[in-house]
Amino acid sequence: MDKRIGSFFSWLGITLGALLASFSVVCILIPNDAIDYGTAGIAIITSKLSGWNLSACVAMIFTPFLLLGFILLGRSFGMRALWGSAVYTVGLEFFEEIPFELNTEHFLAVVFGGAILGAGLSLILRCGGCIDGSEIFANIVLSKISKKTGRSFSMTYLLIGFNACVYLAVFLLINRNAALMSLLVYVVATSVINHFTDHFESIKQVTIITKDANALAEAIREGLGKTCTIMNSYGLISGENKTVICYINYFELPKIKDIIAANGGAFTTVSTIDEIVR
């Protein structure tokens, strides 16, 4: 019952977060000459240049990334990403028909809109979802690199590079003011996201204390393609244990939680790692 309630609130959180994001984009950012970042930014640029419907452009741009996420990152993540993107797309269509005007300076409006966008995206990420294809793209690229090298890498540089290309396109294809306003959106939104998700683009260290470390480590290797470090440990009450340490990215957290729950009898902590030095 507790699992069902938690699942319900996760889906509800993704829904509310997607609606907040779509409201911010349509009612605040676009009217104030700013755009979203990531693949949503690409969709907005496409809509502005072609005159096509915004929600149709979003669906067209998002779909390939969602399919990749569904195939390569698992059904659970794929379903949540698909639902979040669908609600976001419907929200864009809905809010385009709602009269809304924010009577304030462009700068303040963009800051306010970026904060709302960041809050919506934070809620989605906290609930295990995703509505931006750039994050899925970065996650897939890093997963492939990690499997070949056996090392874990942060998404930060990939996401910065992806969004730098988006803003360069805004600068060249739309205008300088739109690029600067959009960059402000990125700074504000990511600041809010980092505050509520503890730097989701960074590497995560999962520390698991368990009696059956070998079976759990093997399940993690098979399910995520990740290797683990196993150490002897001792609990004052539980006695002899094993401590399993594994490094993953943010979008792999739901999957490793399912693996740990299936094995049972484990105490787990998750912490953020800014850098791994070799």
**Contact assessment for residue 206 and residue 256, using Cβ atoms and an 8 Å cutoff:** yes
CA end-to-end span of the chain, whole Å?
45
Quick count: other Cβ atoms within 10 Å of Cβ 155?
23
**Contact assessment for residue 135 and residue 251, using Cβ atoms and an 8 Å cutoff:** yes
Which residues have a Cβ under 8 Å from the Cβ of 193 and sit 6 or more positions away?
118, 121, 122, 125, 200
SS3 track for the chain: CHHHHHHHHHHHHHHHHHHHHHHHHHHHHHHHCCCCCHHHHHHHHHHHHHCCCHHHHHHHHHHHHHHHHHHHCCHHHHHHHHHHHHHHHHHHHHHCCCCCCCCCCHHHHHHHHHHHHHHHHHHHHHCCCCCCHHHHHHHHHHHHHHHHHCCCCCCHHHHHHHHHHHHHHHHHHCCHHHHHHHHHHHHHHHHHHHHHHCCCCCEEEEEEEECCHHHHHHHHHHHHCCCCEEEEEEECCCEEEEEEEEEECHHHHHHHHHHHHHHCCCEEEEEEECCCCC
pLDDT value for 91 = 93
pLDDT value for 278 = 65
**Contact assessment for residue 27 and residue 101, using Cβ atoms and an 8 Å cutoff:** no
Tens digit of each residue's pLDDT, the chain (278 residues): 567 787 888 899 999 999 999 999 999 999 888 888 888 899 999 998 988 998 899 989 988 888 887 777 777 778 888 898 999 999 999 998 888 877 778 888 899 999 999 999 999 988 888 888 888 888 778 777 777 776 767 777 888 888 899 999 999 988 888 888 889 999 999 889 888 887 777 888 999 999 888 889 999 888 888 889 899 988 877 788 899 999 888 878 878 888 888 877 788 999 988 777 66
Residue 239's DSSP bridge partners are 235
Residue closest to 39 by CA, chosen among 149, 141, 150, 131: 131
pLDDT value for 155 = 79
pLDDT value for 119 = 93
Helix axes 176-197, 156-173, angle to 10 degrees: 160
pTM for this model (two decimals): 0.82
pLDDT value for 112 = 92
Residue closest to 211 by CA, chosen among 270, 269, 267: 267
pLDDT value for 2 = 65
pLDDT value for 196 = 83
User: Please, how many CA atoms are within 13 Å of residue 235, restricted to the half-sphere of its CB?
Assistant: 13
Indicate the burial class of 169 (C-beta count within 10 angstroms; 0-12, 13-18, 19 or more). Answer: middle
The ranges of the chain annotated as CATH 3.30.70.120 are: 203-273
Residue closest to 59 by CA, chosen among 49, 69, 71, 47: 47
CA distances from 168 to 50, 81, 135, 163, 184 (A): 18, 27, 19, 8, 14
Which numeric CATH code is attached to 203-273? 3.30.70.120
pLDDT value for 231 = 92
